[in-house]
Amino acid sequence: MSDGQLNVKVYSAGELVAAFEAFDAVSQGTADMYHSADYYWIGKSPAWAFFCAVPFGMTFTEINAWIYHGGGQELWDELGAKFNIKPFLAGNTGVQMGGWFNKEINSTEDYKGLKIRMPGLGGEVLREIGAAAVNLPGGEIAPALQSGAIDATEWVGPWNDLAFGFYKFAKYYYYPGFHEPGTANDLGVNKDFYESLPKHQQRIVEAAAAMENVYQNAEFNAHDSSSLTTLTGKHKVQVRKFSPDVLNAIGEASGRVMNRVGNSDPLTAKVYKSFLESRKDSIGWAKLADQAYWEARLLPFKYGQ
Ligand code: CA
């Protein structure tokens, strides 16, 4: 896009710094940018989670509406400035799966003492109902599941989960991923570096991130369905839906956690308030738009058969 003016050299987790050190590396200028999921930084401020994914939060199109047109970007910029980071949306997984379990989950009792990998506020919610939730970077999950260090895990959805081979160590694959209903992947740019760029190069970074936001979501949608077929057909994975009772109980726990965490400091409270308003608007409109259409599409009429 820049005709050679901007060149990006990409390092994997562990090459320049470890996965969870990406934030400090960019904040301090060891690296110019990270591509990550901002809920990994809730130890810096819980507000970061809202720009990535929170339990029973917003979907891909809804978070886009908030960030691009609902005041979300301005709040994110305010948060980022405290850490010398200029943030952008740069990818979205869509609704994730609920996770891999080696036993059925029939009530929230089944979460008691369960050692499960779940990052962000989703982990906080599962701790609220008695699970022993831990966070691990992607590359460490499968070995932990294999060794029994964890009993269960979530990662993303069929495409990414198939690649990591979780089906070898846990056979029940639950949905929906209430904890990550449209996880944003985020580009964090060192703010000093970003502001040192000429305006047109800043616009190039912004446009590239926006393009990746759409492109990556399309990539997930294109691959998740076929990967699910491979998991259930070839690998005999048992797909299970969380019961309404389980989801409602986790929703109640989510509400308590969100109110606690969302009001933990003035800036987080400001972000939380804006998020809640946007979420409410999204739910109201989705009832008449996306949700109503998805239900209509599943009526038993014949189409293309
Ligand atoms: Ca996930």
Beta bridge partners of residue 132, listed in sequence order: 115
Domain membership of residue 131 (yes or no) is: yes
Residue 217 CA to ligand 1 center (angstroms) comes to 14
Residue 227 CA to ligand 1 center (angstroms) comes to 16
Residue 196 CA to ligand 1 center (angstroms) comes to 34
CB atoms within 10 A of CB 119: 26
Domain membership of residue 25 (yes or no) is: no
Domain membership of residue 19 (yes or no) is: no
Residue 179 CA to ligand 1 center (angstroms) comes to 8
| Domains contained in the chain, number | 1
The residue-averaged pLDDT of 286-290 equals 97
d(CA 275, CA 303): 38
Q: Where are the alpha helices (DSSP H) in 49-169?
A: 60-69, 72-81, 120-128, 141-147, 158-164
Domain membership of residue 10 (yes or no) is: no
For β-strands 85-92 and 238-241, DSSP reports them as unpaired
**pLDDT per residue as tens digits for the range 1-21:** 999 999 999 999 999 999 999
Angle in degrees, 0-180, between the axes of helices 120-128 and 244-262, rounded to the nearest 10? 110
Please, which residues have CB less than 5 A from ligand 1, an ion?
Answer: 96, 154, 180
**pLDDT per residue as tens digits for the range 110-151:** 999 999 999 889 999 999 999 999 999 889 999 999 999 999
Residue 37 CA to ligand 1 center (angstroms) comes to 9
**pLDDT per residue as tens digits for the range 98-112:** 999 999 999 999 999
pLDDT at residue number 68 = 98
Residues with Cβ within 8 Å of 90's Cβ and at least 6 positions away in sequence, in order, are 35, 184, 185, 186, 187, 209, 210, 212, 213, 216
pLDDT at residue number 293 = 98
Residue 194 CA to ligand 1 center (angstroms) comes to 29
Domain membership of residue 170 (yes or no) is: yes
Mean pLDDT (the chain) is 97
Domain of residue 156, residue span: 35-283
pLDDT at 72 over 80: yes
Residue 183 CA to ligand 1 center (angstroms) comes to 8
Task: Tell me the pLDDT band of 281, cut-offs 50, 70 and 90.
Answer: very high
pLDDT at residue number 298 = 96
pTM of the prediction?
0.94
For β-strands 152-153 and 99-101, DSSP reports them as antiparallel
Structure tokens at 257: 């956690």
- For residue 133, give the CATH number of its domain: 3.40.190.170
Domain membership of residue 30 (yes or no) is: no
pLDDT at residue number 305 = 76
